[in-house]
Structure 1
Amino acid sequence: MSLIKCTQMNSRILLNMCKYDSPRFLTREYSYKTIKRPDPRTLKMPTPESAPNLIEIIKEKIRLNGPITVAEYMHIVTTNPTEGYYMKKEVIGEAGDFITSPEISQLFGEILGIWFYAETQKMCEAKPLQIVELGPGKATLLIDMLRVLNKIGYTSHDLSIHLVEISSTMQSIQANRLCVSHRPVEIDMPHNHEGETLSGIKVYWYNDLKKVPQNFSWYVAHEFFDVLPIHKFEKTEKGWRELLIDIDDTGKLLYRLSGNETQAVKMLIRPPLDSGDRTELEISARSLGVARQLAKRVDEYGGLALIADYGHEGEKGDTFRAFQKHQIVDPLETPGKSDLTADVDFSQLRIAASKNPGEENYALVVGPVKQKDFLEQCQGELRLQVLIDAAKKDEDKEKIKSAYEMLVDPNKMGERFKFMAFYPSTMASILAKYPPLGFSNLKP
């Protein structure tokens, strides 16, 4: 239709409308209605009895939208508000599905506290100080670190605690162990819970690292990155393809390779990650983002970041698995009842966090080093002897010794677990003169 005809038609419509005196002909028959928005504070989660089964949620999503990525699957399984793995039960310890180093020996957390303090002395006094832990578990690591700081002379005026935790169940466990009092806060606050320790130290909980105040901080990420969602890729004759999760004719979950390049293939597989003769890759976009956040915070506002996790330096390609009652099980069986995890690729964290010449500065990255080497360089054996000497019973002495051996034994946790640290880029000359504790055989 020409512009002239369209204009003439609009003019006739306006003239016809003006023939009527009553305004009711100018009122739209269908219009928007004003509604009252519900108050978020009054909304409640469905009860476990009324919530849909997690496996049915996953299957329905696949039926509606097609196969899902492993990253989507991990996200649903771990964070579903009512049925997610970390949302509904205590999972750490002998009675849970796995056990962590802080739960094995108090020595682990004490050494980390000493490491942070010693390395901070190379730059400043570190008062006031924020301790930020990502995925604090049962808060055992933090409790052991605070014991060290109390001995050194830190008080409630010198530090505050900031915990990044998405699970209300784990948050409750942490609050009950750390605080003498704690409470939820208004929804418009950056944190969603707060409390105080017996000595008056303020404790705050967040659901995202981005909400934590940007101040001088010690950042701790122990067994945090291994549970972040990963994308899995395989190299075929047609190039890289993504491993997806689908359902078969019987309703059972299974893996399926994508026929074409997915968006994740286009966005994530870039040099040098796809270099060499690798035929399998696991990449966690979330891990890369968190690593960069930590590096930028350390570089811009000061502090240190320490990552401790089991992982590798790019030599592995298929590490996705599940743990239930300390045993490896099929990740696609009984979702929500087992711990989904993948080894951390420390080479990818280094790429995401490192300071690159000619580009925006992030941080100086050291490591990874094996847990055995880190603990021994931090005088773990000396601390072990102090604990043994303080024990009154031979049985207790043996338990302390056995726990330490589990941490450093190459066939147990000594080599599988590794440490990596982020320093401000301005500390290059200082670290050249005073090598990083625990990483003394490496250069930043």
Structure 2
Amino acid sequence: MTPLEKILTAQIKAQGPISVSDYMAICLFHPEHGYYSTRDPFGTTGDFITAPEVSQMFGELIGLTLAQTWIEQGKPARIALAELGPGRGTLMADILRTVKAVPAFAAACEIHLVEASQRLRKVQAQTLQNVTPTWHDHTEELPTDVPLYLVANEFFDALPIHQMIRDGDSWRERQVGIEGEALTFGLSAGAPLSVLAHRLEDTKDGDLVEFCPQAPTIMQSLAKRVDANGGAALIFDYGDWRSLGDTLQALRAHEKVAALYKPGESDLTAHVDFEVLVADLPCAHSRITPQGIFLERLGITDRAQALAKNLNGTDLKQHIAAHRRLTHPDEMGTIFKTFALFPSGTNPPAGYET
């Protein structure tokens, strides 16, 4: 039994079952025993690999997209270049290295990172030791007086979700309780749920629907900043349009494990409901686009071929595999999707369509 499992078991015995949302939040963000508080989860020695860790090409193309957007929006002299959930800081480092080719854009950037984990902040500081980022606990703390140029890669999939199962015209919440001394899933009593009232039209008894209360709040905050002050927000994550079914998953050492296995020692994520992310935004947004198509529009294959000229042997094989992993429909190319926020009445950033 992990230290966090002991804490969860004691809490549930004393107070009763908890929601999947509370379980995720405790497992990921507990200040002493939470997943992001105790380890560096990224890369081959961690539990999963994100797109920036796959290849520098990902960050390079995003950096050029942001710089081009800045040029098209009149080259503001001061901007907030921000990232939500920056991991090791690899993506931001690749962006900053790339935009050195646009010196005025690089000079305009003030770096802002939204990161809850103090452990990961130290890693990010090391990766970005040549710049001076400002860290924030929440998106609401991002600047409101300058244009916002923001990237969020695999941020929303880690936000805690509620899981609701339809029962007639009501919903029962999936909860985490105890059977014997082991954590187990159960269900609450049924109750109407206004936030899911519209889902009675396209679901049947027994269907499971997930929702994340934090996601639309964060999107509204970003959209208000972009529409009021300019800039763009580029969102990358895995998921689909309109949640249906159980997508909660745990990863440990790059292998899927049971969601209740070793709390605090496995990564927990769920598919993003893109319909919710773009609903009722106060700014313009692009279409939801598969990541592979987006990267191809920006010329990732040409970039890959240029880099390949200086490689051979194992390095070349790894480079070819990285290009495939980012773009191929059987890997990250289709399940990962992207869209952009941008000011009303302006054109979408390069690579996006309306």
Query: Given the two structures, how large is their TM-score scaled by the length of structure 2?
Result: 0.94
CA distance in 2: counterparts of 1:244 and 1:155, whole angstroms: 48
SS class of match (1:120): helix
Q: Provide closer, same or farther for how the CA distance between residues 129 and 342 of structure 1 changes in structure 2, counting only shifts above 3 A.
A: same
CA distance in 1: counterparts of 2:148 and 2:243, whole angstroms: 32
Are the aligned partners of 2:100 and 2:106 in contact in 1 as well (CA < 8 Å)?
Answer: no
Q: How does 1:57-96 map to 2 (within 5 A)?
A: 57-96=7-46
CA distance in 2: counterparts of 1:58 and 1:436, whole angstroms: 45
1:343 to 265, 271, 284: 271
- The runs of at least 4 aligned residues of structure 1 exceeding 4 Å deviation read none
SS class of match (2:201): coil
Q: Provide closer, same or farther for how the CA distance between residues 329 and 103 of structure 1 changes in structure 2, counting only shifts above 3 A.
A: same
Query: Given the two structures, how large is their TM-score scaled by the length of structure 1?
Result: 0.76
Give the superposition deviation at 1:395. 3.4
Are the aligned partners of 2:82 and 2:113 in contact in 1 as well (CA < 8 Å)?
Answer: yes
1:388 to 284, 292, 308: 308
Are the aligned partners of 1:228 and 1:284 in contact in 2 as well (CA < 8 Å)?
Answer: yes
Q: How does 1:174-193 map to 2 (within 5 A)?
A: 174-179=124-129
| Residue 209 (structure 1) aligns with | 139
Q: How does 1:4-403 map to 2 (within 5 A)?
A: 53-154=3-104, 157-179=107-129, 197=130, 201-214=131-144, 215-248=146-179, 250-261=180-191, 266-271=193-198, 273-277=199-203, 279-314=207-242, 316-351=244-279, 353-354=280-281, 362-389=282-309, 391-403=310-322
Are the aligned partners of 1:156 and 1:202 in contact in 2 as well (CA < 8 Å)?
Answer: no
Give the superposition deviation at 1:348. 0.8
Aligned residues: 350
234-243 or 153-162, which deviates more = 153-162
The structure number with the bigger radius of gyration is 1
SS class of match (1:121): helix
Q: How does 1:393-432 map to 2 (within 5 A)?
A: 393-427=312-346, 431=347
Identity of paired residues, percent?
34
CA distance in 2: counterparts of 1:436 and 1:123, whole angstroms: 10
Q: Provide closer, same or farther for how the CA distance between residues 297 and 288 of structure 1 changes in structure 2, counting only shifts above 3 A.
A: same
Give the superposition deviation at 1:156. 6.4
Give the superposition deviation at 1:94. 0.3
Give the superposition deviation at 1:396. 2.4
Are the aligned partners of 1:165 and 1:206 in contact in 2 as well (CA < 8 Å)?
Answer: yes
The one-letter code sitting in structure 1 at the alignment partner of 2:306 is V
CA distance in 1: counterparts of 2:209 and 2:349, whole angstroms: 31
CA distance in 2: counterparts of 1:274 and 1:296, whole angstroms: 31
SS class of match (2:338): strand
Residue by residue over 1:171-208, the C-alpha shift from the partner in whole angstroms, topping out at 9 and shown as x without a partner, is 000001111xxxxxxxxxxxxxxxxx2xxx43111111
Give the superposition deviation at 1:105. 0.5
Give the superposition deviation at 1:436. 4.5
- Report 1 or 2 for greater relative contact order, CA contacts < 8 Å, sequence distance ≥ 6: 2
Give the superposition deviation at 1:282. 0.5
Are the aligned partners of 1:232 and 1:282 in contact in 2 as well (CA < 8 Å)?
Answer: yes
Give the superposition deviation at 1:341. 0.3
